[in-house]
Amino acid sequence: MTVFDVEKLREDFPILQKKINGKPIVYFDNACMSLRPRQVVEAIEDYYYNYPACGSRSVHKLGRMATEKYHESRQTISKFIGAKKDEELIFTRNTTEGINLVANSLGLKKGDVVLITDKEHNSNLLPWQILAERVGITYRVVHFSGDMTFSMENFEKSMDRSVKLVSMAHTSNLDGYTIPAGDLIKAAHDFGSLVMLDAAQSVPHKEVDVRKLDVDFLAFSGHKMLGPSGTGALYVKSSLQDRLSPFIVGGDTVKNTTLTSYELEKPPEKFEAGLQDYAGAIGFAAAARYLERVGRKDIEKHESKLNMHLTSEMSQFEGLRIIGPSHPELRGGIISFTVEGIDPHTIAMILDENANVMVRSGQHCVHSWFNEFGIPGSVRLSFYLYNTMDEAHIFFDELKRIITGLR
């Protein structure tokens, strides 16, 4: 069994060995984009240096190698989420593209209902708003409880036979809370509804098994789980793949064409139009293998430990409010907070300028939630496997100086 050793893991991340103005980098913006270990970068370089050719189409040696590595990458990532078949995994550019693929391919029509929550990322809000305008679907919003935990009561009140799809964030990028997906999926299926999970913030940090959940669609991104930017995947249960009509077509999506007809490839190829990001997929798979070696259960425990420590420390500040459930173990590796009388961007800029502590500030692509509650924005810390307790202390000490100095 591999022992979780954060200091040893940090050696794999060259950026963490650097200093800016003589101070170490404290990277707490992982919910936006994670850092990459050398193993991922080397896998990408290997493609460009040793077999930089077109996969799927070319029969020469370099083409065959690119095809094999691309296929192996699909196998690795599908296994990473517990898919039954490799073909259930479609490569995308990110979670957003995966959600949009389902939204535009499922054939939703006027009168169909999509169920979301009041805490969705824009990527799981805008597609339904636009479909409501263009097609006439209806989207209903399930509101979280007052303590910001998921309300099964509100969910069940919103469900009926008109609901064709439940599409919700598995783990919130706002506060790190994870919904009870298993119970929700079972209840939705009882009403005949399909379920899609936005797993951008869950797959990188905890074990997610699509078969155990019995989820129908699941979208996630490579750039949040140590992989390259511009990479992602959409899981589609094999029994549902024929229900999706590809909305981006062209090269690699068809077996044959005439001037008046076409014959589509089988999934997943029919959803992957054009020349693919082979290097990206290969780097994405390298990231999945890295996380498997480290162990996502240990990563989840590590992040929770950091959250619990800082939540306790930050509770001493008057006027500081942490967004989300009060118990830190329900907020995973995210702490979003506001400080009365101090602009979030000001806090973020001073943290960066004075201590190289890199956090997120603003509305985190959840504008609708902030606008609903009249909150201009927050500061967001988000942890990952390479963050340390020493970094938490650096953040806390600098935050204390900021709050003391600006009041």
β-bridge pairing 232-236 and 194-198: unpaired
**Residue 54 catalytic?**
no
Look-up of token digits 């509101």: 143
Query: Cis peptide before 268, with omega less than 30 degrees from 0?
Result: yes
How many CB atoms are located within 10 Å of the residue 144 CB? 20
Phi, psi of 78, rounded to the nearest 5 degrees: -65, -40
How many CB atoms are located within 10 Å of the residue 344 CB? 22
Q: Of these residues, 365, 367, 375, 393, which one is catalytic?
A: 365
* Residue-level pLDDT at 29: 98
Maximum Cα–Cα distance for the chain, whole Å?
Answer: 72
In tens, the pLDDT along 48-92 reads: 999 999 988 788 999 999 999 999 999 999 999 999 999 999 999
Structural domains in the chain, CATH included, are 6-28+295-406 (3.90.1150.10), 40-293 (3.40.640.10)
Written as one string, the DSSP assignment of 111-171 is T-EEEEETT--GGGTHHHHHHHHHT--EEEEEPPPTTSS--HHHHHHH--TTEEEEEEESB
Q: Give me the tens of pLDDT residue by residue for the chain, a chain 407 residues long.
A: 468 999 999 999 999 999 999 999 999 999 999 999 999 999 999 999 999 999 887 889 999 999 999 999 999 999 999 999 999 999 999 999 999 999 999 999 999 999 999 999 999 999 999 999 999 999 999 999 999 999 999 999 999 999 999 999 999 999 999 999 999 999 999 999 999 999 999 999 999 999 999 999 999 999 999 999 999 999 999 999 999 998 899 988 999 999 999 999 999 999 999 999 999 999 999 999 999 999 999 999 999 999 999 999 999 999 999 999 999 999 999 999 999 999 999 999 999 999 999 999 999 999 999 999 999 999 999 999 999 999 999 999 999 999 999 87
Instruction: State the DSSP code for 180.
Output: -
